[in-house]
């Protein structure tokens, strides 16, 4: 088999976020390489989630082999620097994969196929969505990072014409939605699956989402990824943290991000402050590195409840970056209540940090 080295590297890289370098089951450190005699090579990998990608190749005859993933990935990453094309062959008893390049060859020991996971083909009702819409929904995966099992999950629901995704941990979380038709569903899946999707180099303008009895699939033209659904009740932390509704503010997103980047330089332990008074709204830092106070340009404030809220710089930046709008809404009551952030298609929260700002 002859294959463009860059094509093989892209195909192997596709599986990077699926295959852990130290999985609990050793067989899951491997991938399956298979061709059915066509000008195409299929790569399949599995851990808790799984993925399949098909890449162009010139194949002489059908074959199937189980190859140590990271060994092959590291090798191809190095060889592609000097060789545009690689030739892959097997030894007589098919226990080794020979990789021939411009100035030599190397041999990789193959693994026994016994116990290697079976490939699962996508099935279930199809929902075709614009890429940006699906990725925006999966963007909530960044909150599925709790230390409790259910807080590592994402809740995905299609109801009343909207696809809604939500994820939370003990400190932050939120939901977002996009318009969508089709049959309704309500599922819970691992947050890592959404991270896999968001990190792929997706070229297609539209993607296909499929929900079967116990599986979730997302596919493009030459690839698909899947994960097993979880039979568990989703714990929405947003229902636990209430907000009194004071200080409902509209702020320019670009200005907010610019001010945050300035304050980051002086912040210590990821701490910044949101200060609200009758005179205006500002972000500030009060640390051993120095002090700064940046006005956010919010005027004509009414019914203000003065408050100074300690926040995580990284948490606030993550949430603001997720919102696809020029103007965003902030709402906060006291320094013990969550800060709510959102627009007409999303709502996020971040729990205040304990703080001892001077003069507060």
Q: What confidence tier does 355 reach under pLDDT thresholds 50, 70, 90?
A: low
- pLDDT at residue number 228: 92
Q: What is the mean pLDDT of residues 311-328?
A: 91
Contact between 198 and 191 under an 8 Å Cβ cutoff? The reply is no
Q: What confidence tier does 273 reach under pLDDT thresholds 50, 70, 90?
A: very high
**How many CB atoms are closer than 10 A to CB 256?**
21
134-143, 189-198, 230-239, 277-286: which range is least confident on average? 230-239
- The pLDDT tens digits of the residues spanning 334-350 come to 878 889 999 989 999 99
- pLDDT at residue number 242: 74
pLDDT of 354 strictly over 80: no
- The pLDDT tens digits of the residues spanning 91-104 come to 988 899 999 999 89
Across the chain, what does the average pLDDT equal?
89
C-alpha closest to that of 51 among 224, 253, 172? 224
C-alpha closest to that of 274 among 242, 240, 320? 320
- pLDDT at residue number 197: 86
- The pLDDT tens digits of the residues spanning 50-99 come to 999 999 999 988 999 999 999 999 999 999 999 999 999 999 888 999 99
pLDDT of 356 strictly over 80: no
- pLDDT at residue number 195: 86
Contact between 311 and 172 under an 8 Å Cβ cutoff? The reply is no
Rounded to two decimals, the pTM is 0.85
Strand runs labelled E in 236-306: 248-252, 271-277, 280-287, 290-295
39 or 22, which is more confident: 39
Q: What confidence tier does 270 reach under pLDDT thresholds 50, 70, 90?
A: confident
Q: What is the mean pLDDT of residues 327-331?
A: 91
* 3-class DSSP state of 227: strand
CB neighbours of 183 closer than 8 A, spacing ≥ 6?
125, 158
* 3-class DSSP state of 106: strand
Q: What is the mean pLDDT of residues 123-134?
A: 94
Strand runs labelled E in 57-150: 63-68, 85-90, 96-101, 104-109, 125-130
For residues 48 and 196, give the distance between their C-alpha atoms in angstroms, rounded to a whole number: 11
Q: What confidence tier does 360 reach under pLDDT thresholds 50, 70, 90?
A: very low
**How many CB atoms are closer than 10 A to CB 33?**
23
Q: What is the mean pLDDT of residues 259-277?
A: 90
For residues 2 and 341, give the distance between their C-alpha atoms in angstroms, rounded to a whole number: 52
Q: Which domains does the chain have, with CATH numbers?
A: 2-109 (3.10.150.10), 125-237 (3.10.150.10), 241-350 (3.10.150.10)
299 or 249, which is more confident: 249
Alpha helices in the chain (DSSP H): 5-14, 69-79, 131-138, 191-199, 253-264, 313-322
- pLDDT at residue number 303: 74
Q: What is the mean pLDDT of residues 255-261?
A: 93
Q: What is the mean pLDDT of residues 119-139?
A: 93
- pLDDT at residue number 297: 86
Left (φ > 0), alpha (ψ -120 to 50) or beta: where does 60 sit?
alpha
């Amino acid at each position: 088999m002859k294959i463009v080295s860059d094509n093989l590297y892209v195909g192997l890289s596709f599986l990077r976020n699926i295959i852990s370098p130290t999985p609990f089951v050793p067989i899951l450190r491997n991938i399956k390489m298979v061709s059915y005699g066509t000008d195409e090579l299929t790569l399949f990998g599995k851990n808790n989630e799984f993925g399949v990608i098909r890449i162009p190749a010139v194949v002489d005859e059908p074959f199937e082999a189980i190859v140590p993933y990271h060994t092959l990935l590291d090798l191809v990453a190095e060889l592609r620097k000097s060789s545009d094309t690689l030739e892959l062959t097997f030894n007589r008893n098919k226990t080794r994969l020979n990789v021939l390049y411009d100035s030599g060859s190397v041999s990789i020991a193959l693994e026994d196929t016994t116990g290697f996971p079976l490939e699962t083909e996508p099935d279930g009702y199809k929902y075709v969505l614009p890429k940006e819409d699906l990725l925006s929904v999966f963007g909530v995966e960044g909150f599925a990072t709790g230390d409790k099992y259910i807080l590592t999950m994402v809740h995905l629901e299609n109801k009343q014409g909207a696809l809604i995704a939500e994820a939370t941990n003990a400190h932050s979380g939120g939901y977002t939605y996009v318009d969508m038709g089709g049959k309704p569903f309500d599922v819970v899946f691992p947050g890592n699956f959404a991270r896999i999707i968001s990190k792929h180099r997706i070229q297609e303008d539209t993607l296909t989402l499929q929900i079967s009895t116990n599986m979730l699939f997302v596919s493009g033209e030459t690839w698909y990824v899947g994960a097993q659904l979880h039979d568990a009740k989703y714990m929405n932390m947003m229902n636990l943290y209430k907000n009194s509704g004071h200080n409902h503010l509209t702020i320019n997103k670009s200005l907010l991000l610019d001010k945050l980047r300035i304050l980051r330089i002086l912040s210590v332990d990821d701490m910044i402050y949101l200060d609200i008074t009758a005179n205006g709204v500002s972000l500030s830092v009060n640390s051993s590195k120095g002090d700064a106070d940046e006005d956010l340009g919010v005027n004509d404030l009414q019914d203000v409840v003065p408050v100074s809220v300690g926040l995580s710089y990284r948490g606030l930046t993550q949430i603001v970056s997720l919102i696809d709008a020029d103007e965003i809404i902030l709402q906060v009551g006291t320094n013990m209540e969550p800060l709510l952030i959102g627009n007409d298609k999303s709502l996020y929260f971040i729990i205040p940090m304990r703080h001892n700002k001077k003069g507060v």
